[in-house]
Chain A
Amino acid sequence: MTGDEQWLDREAGPVVRPYAVTRGRTRPPGVTVGLIDLVVSAGRHSAGARGLGPEHRRLLGLCGSSITLADLASEADLPLGVVRVLVGDLQERGLVTVAAQAGGSNQDENVLRSVLDGLRTL
Chain B
Amino acid sequence: MAYGRYERPAGPAPPPVVTKLLIAGGFGVGKTTLVGSISEVRPLRTEEVLSELGIGVDDTTSVELKRTTTVAMDFGRITFPNGMVLYLFGTPGQERFWFMWDELAVGALAAVVLADTRRLPDCFSSIDYFERRDTPFVVAANHFYGSPVYDPADIRNALDVDSDVPVLLCDARRRASVKEVLIASVAHAMTRHQTAARS
Contact = CB atoms under 8 A, between A and B. Distances in A.
A35 B104 contact: yes
A81 B46 contact: yes
Interface string A31-68: 00011101010000000000000000000000001101
Interface residues of B, number: 49
Contacts of A87: none
26 contacts: A17-B68, A34-B107, A35-B20, A36-B20, A38-B16, A68-B87, A71-B77, A73-B44, A74-B42, A74-B75, A79-B45, A79-B47, A81-B47, A103-B106, A103-B107, A110-B5, A111-B17, A112-B109, A115-B86, A116-B183, A118-B82, A118-B84, A119-B179, A121-B80, A121-B81, A122-B78
B161 interface: no
A115 B46 contact: no
A2 interface: no
Nearest to B89: A35
A80 B194 CA distance: 35
A115 B43 contact: no
Q: Nearest 3 A-B pairs (CB), nearest first?
A: A118-B80, A103-B107, A79-B47
Interface string B170-199: 000001000100110011011001100100
Contacts of B48: 81
Interface size class of A (residues with CB under 8 A): 35 or more
Contacts of B89: 35, 70
A117 B179 CA distance: 12
B15 A74 contact: no
B163 to A, nearest CB: 20
Contact of A111 (B19, B68, B75): B19
Contact of B45 (A26, A35, A78): A78
Interface in A77-100: 77-82, 99
